[in-house]
Structure 1
Amino acid sequence: MADGDDRQATFGSDGSLETETTPDATGENDFGEEKEPNETDGGYSRYVVSSLLQKAVRRSDEEVAAWAAWELARSGYAWNLWDRLNLYVVEDLRAGDEVALTIERYEELATERWEPDAWKGRLCAIHAALAAARARSTREASNADAYFGAVADLRAEARERGEEPAHDFPVGDLDPDGKFDAVFDGHTGEGSKRGRGTRFFKTHGARVGPEGEDEQSARWQRLAMLLDGEIDYDEGELDRAVAPVDPDDPWSESESDASAEASGSGSTDDTAAADADDDIDDETGSLTDFAE
């Protein structure tokens, strides 16, 4: 498959298109007329059909999206179609949607196993467009990019004036001992200087939530900490390591977190750690018995 980026539209100073039509897109249209550059078989501009496809995906209009994909594929603009569909995954669909893998697979089938403008290739194009249109539409990534970029400009302008910015990034100055102190563990220069090694990471940097660890993961976490031959964790540290973070304040590291019960996370009762130590030290005991 050709690289779509090599064939994106460029415009001259007079607004005219400066791009070549690929060989697959030449020939006659549906009316028996020689196709103009960038014309589809139905007599449309491929740029307009491509834009229509994106708007149809964004508005969840399945039929229009399916037609636009079919029109581009049958007209010899499959490279344009697949380039655009992959862009829509990151520009117009909710993060984490599995449709990205679906579209990738259909593209592979249409362009590597079959001919993209043949019957099977067109079916792949329609399937991919329908999958995109049926996925949860959102402009969250594009909106975040525009917002963060605008804030970056405002921060730079404020610094030049020697003022505090009217708008700032959600992390502020990102300093140690601040709201995001947990990130300054041994993986950072500041954390290393403060001697924040494995103990700090296990009890602060590795915490998850707000759902917390599941029962099995929490069990493994506590056992690994209890079996650590170099660090002797106390009960509060064991509890903190598997306690879910506060959903309303996920960066809080208050003392209450250390003794919080991890609901559904497999956190044991107040005597579990001591019992575990006894079991581990007992030559006839087993970790399986402890876990159960």
Structure 2
Amino acid sequence: MDEDRQATFGSDGSLDTETPPEAREGTTDWGEPKGDGETDGGYNRYDVSSLLQKAVRRSDEEVAAWAAWELARSGYAWNLWDRLHLYVVEDLRAGQDVALLVERYETLATERWDPQSWKGRLCAIHAALACARAQSSREASNADEFFRNAAAARAEVRGTDEDPAVDFPVADLDPDGPYDVIFDKHTAEGSRRDRGEGFFKRFGARVGPEGEDAQSARWQRLNMALSDVEYDEAELDHAVEPVDPEHRWEDPVTFEDEGGDGGADRSESGADGGGS
């Protein structure tokens, strides 16, 4: 399981799921032979690896830079880059560009240069500093754990009259429920309800809460005007109206013929109208 990846404590018999060989060759800074899992500075590389991730998570730039440098110079570059890549998916707010930077720094350090060399160590420091300066968040990890707990809670009461202690944010996806708008031509239920391009354009393709910019809205209105489905002005306006941030899924259907496309459909066969 993914959760086991961090259950690595050292070279004293603890579980180690990371398989690359130990960088034992050479001596410590004071000339003593290095032990298994020991860094040049005499630290346990598991401890330094954990320190690296905690430092970038807490935005401690200096400690993160040192930990990256210590791992890189000691022959544990693979551990360093594995930990930084784990950070960008476990502890980083989604959308941060640093995820791409880490990949680039690793390529430079490991494919163009020796990861233990001066250039390789600079790449390690750069990557650690970039991560420490990024916006940390446990949102993905917290979401994953919550969804797993909710799945277990739902399964526990399956077949009984009890409600789960916690549930998925969408509960049950039923037509005519809170998420009715998803049942358009891209789903079997939507097709059964004759919700074709007209329904999708008016409801399913709306964005928010920022809404379309002026150019995108202009293109959407032109596409609808040129479509085989006829739309009135109110329908054109609604299609590009921003979604209400307080009621993202409430999309009041006030147009004629709620179930179908509304208006006259001159020829809907072959009209795709974009993605789902």
Q: Tell me which interval the TM-score lies in, with the shorter structure as reference length.
A: 0.7 to 0.9
> Is the Cα–Cα contact under 8 Å of residues 58 and 133 in structure 1 kept in the other structure?
yes
1:253 correspondence with 2:254? no
TM-score, normalising length: structure 1? 0.80
Residue aligning to 2:261: none
Residue aligning to 1:146: 145
Residue aligning to 2:272: none
SS in 2 for 1:252: coil
Residue aligning to 1:124: 123
Greater percentage in helix: 1
Identity %: 65
1:223 correspondence with 2:222? yes
- Distance, in Å, in 2 between the alignment partners of 1:28 and 1:13 is 20
Residue aligning to 1:240: 238
Residue aligning to 2:270: none
Residue aligning to 1:203: 202
Q: 1:60 offset after TM fit, Å?
A: 0.5
> Is the Cα–Cα contact under 8 Å of residues 10 and 44 in structure 2 kept in the other structure?
no
Taking only aligned residues, the RMSD between alpha carbons, in angstroms, comes to 2.6
Q: What is the correspondence of 1:64-79 to structure 2 with a 5 Å cutoff?
A: 64-79=63-78
Greater C-alpha radius of gyration: 1
Higher alpha-carbon deviation: 62-71 or 159-168: 159-168
- Distance, in Å, in 2 between the alignment partners of 1:153 and 1:161 is 14
Unaligned ranges ≥5, structure 1:
259-292
- Distance, in Å, in 2 between the alignment partners of 1:33 and 1:21 is 23
- Distance, in Å, in 1 between the alignment partners of 2:191 and 2:20 is 57
TM-score, normalising length: structure 2? 0.85
Unaligned ranges ≥5, structure 2:
257-276
- Distance, in Å, in 2 between the alignment partners of 1:255 and 1:17 is 57
> Is the Cα–Cα contact under 8 Å of residues 240 and 257 in structure 1 kept in the other structure?
no
Amino acid at match of 1:245: V
Residue aligning to 1:285: none
- Distance, in Å, in 2 between the alignment partners of 1:21 and 1:213 is 49
Residue aligning to 2:57: 58
SS in 2 for 1:159: coil
Q: 1:162 offset after TM fit, Å?
A: 3.2
- Distance, in Å, in 2 between the alignment partners of 1:141 and 1:257 is 39
> Is the Cα–Cα contact under 8 Å of residues 11 and 37 in structure 2 kept in the other structure?
no
Q: What is the correspondence of 1:1-292 to structure 2 with a 5 Å cutoff?
A: 9=8, 15=14, 22=21, 24-228=23-227, 230-255=228-253
SS in 2 for 1:161: coil
1:182-240 CA distances to partner (integer Å, 9 max, x unpaired)? 11111111111111111111111110011100000000000011011x21111121111
Corresponding pairs, count: 252
Q: 1:172 offset after TM fit, Å?
A: 1.1
Amino acid at match of 1:42: G
1:66-95 CA distances to partner (integer Å, 9 max, x unpaired)? 000000000000011001100000111100
Change (3 A) 1:118 1:257: farther
